Amino acid sequence: MSSHLTAGLRSAFAGLTALAMLAAPAMAQSLPSYKDDLFGYPRLISSNEDGSYEVVEYIKARDLHQRDKEPEREVWGNYVSFHPTSSQEDLELKANGRAVKYMAAGQTEGGAAMIVIYVHGQGGNRFQGMNDLTFGGNFNRIKNLMSRNNGLYISAGFADFGAKGTEDVAAIIDAYQARSPRAKTFVACGSMGSILCWNLLKDPAQARKLSGVLLFGASKDDAFLKSATLRKAENHVPLYMGHGSWDNVYDWQQQLAFFEQIRKASPTYPVRFTLFDTGTHGTPIRMTDWRLILNWMLSRG
């Protein structure tokens, strides 16, 4: 094949790729590989038959001390890319009679194919979910997955862990779905922030806006078992629960029992539970494979 023909084919392929990227919001989506060799699960210890429950190996010496240049403060540079920095902003939204502050990276002006919103736990703030260097660089990975793939990543600030906070996160969802009406929206809640995720899931009007919810070291909410989101198949929102077996805030066995209650109440409900063996309260934020979980949620439609 001549070099001219090869160059022409490459040019045509590049053009088709560009058109595909522009059409991404209307197409079935799947996030491409990004540093999977670093962020993929090191070893799967066990799983149930359908893969909805799995135990992932976590070794502190390897997954924290070797991964971090300064443990829990700064990951080694090969885990990080500052590509999203050019689009990163500290923003404010007027809603619910107050200022809702948050940070965003990616398609902030609209046209996003998907939106991921992080909701911090007690003692956190909007800066936590934008920190590139902590939690083993895992926030940097989700920022890159979004900014490199026509997506939007938001780290939310909010008034409290009750009704006001839920309203604030809902206001962020509404504001950015208005700008990107075809975007699939995912909310990821850490620790006590899970209260807001459960509140969104229990409200049919709010749940309809979501394509998935991720919970990291989270609480449970028994009222969800009676919700329309769980009881009606057409309302199902894919749910991921990640937990450490050494979590001293929320006991993993209670969370696993709640996972089983969900499956019993609605056998077809799309829910996954990942247990990080010997992991502590913050381990799911560090270790959850964002790409794996989001692609599973995207595959559910």
Q: What is the full DSSP assignment across 32-62?
A: PPSSHHHHS-S-EEEE-TTSSEEEEE--HII
Instruction: Give the pair of three-digit tokens for residue 91.
Output: 């923003």
What mean pLDDT do residues 275-289 have?
Answer: 98
Q: CA geometry: angle at 292 spanning 156 and 219, to 5°?
A: 50
d(CA 181, CA 22): 15
d(CA 187, CA 174): 13
- Domain limits, the chain: 36-299
Show the beta-strand stretches assigned E in the chain.
44-47, 53-57, 68-70, 74-75, 89-95, 98-106, 114-119, 151-156, 184-190, 212-216, 239-244, 271-277
Q: How far is it between the farthest Cα atoms of the chain? A: 67
What is the residue whose two structure tokens read 């979590």? 247
What mean pLDDT do residues 256-273 have?
Answer: 98
pLDDT of residue 20 exceeding 70: no
Instruction: Give the pair of three-digit tokens for residue 60.
Output: 């502190």
Question: Hey, which CATH number is domain 36-299, 1.10.240.10, 3.40.50.1820, 3.20.20.210, 3.90.78.10?
Answer: 3.40.50.1820
Q: Residue 301's pLDDT is what?
A: 75
In sequence order, which residues have a C-beta less than 8 Å from that of residue 106 and are 6 or more positions away?
84, 87, 112, 143, 146, 147, 150, 151, 152, 153
pLDDT tens, position by position, 201-255: 999 999 999 999 999 999 999 999 999 999 999 999 999 999 999 999 999 999 9
With cut-offs at 50, 70 and 90, classify the pLDDT of residue 91. very high
d(CA 110, CA 118): 18
In sequence order, which residues have a C-beta less than 8 Å from that of residue 83 and are 6 or more positions away?
144, 147, 148
Beta-sheet strand order (sheet of 184-190): 44-47, 53-57, 271-277, 239-244, 212-216, 184-190, 114-119, 151-156, 98-106, 89-95
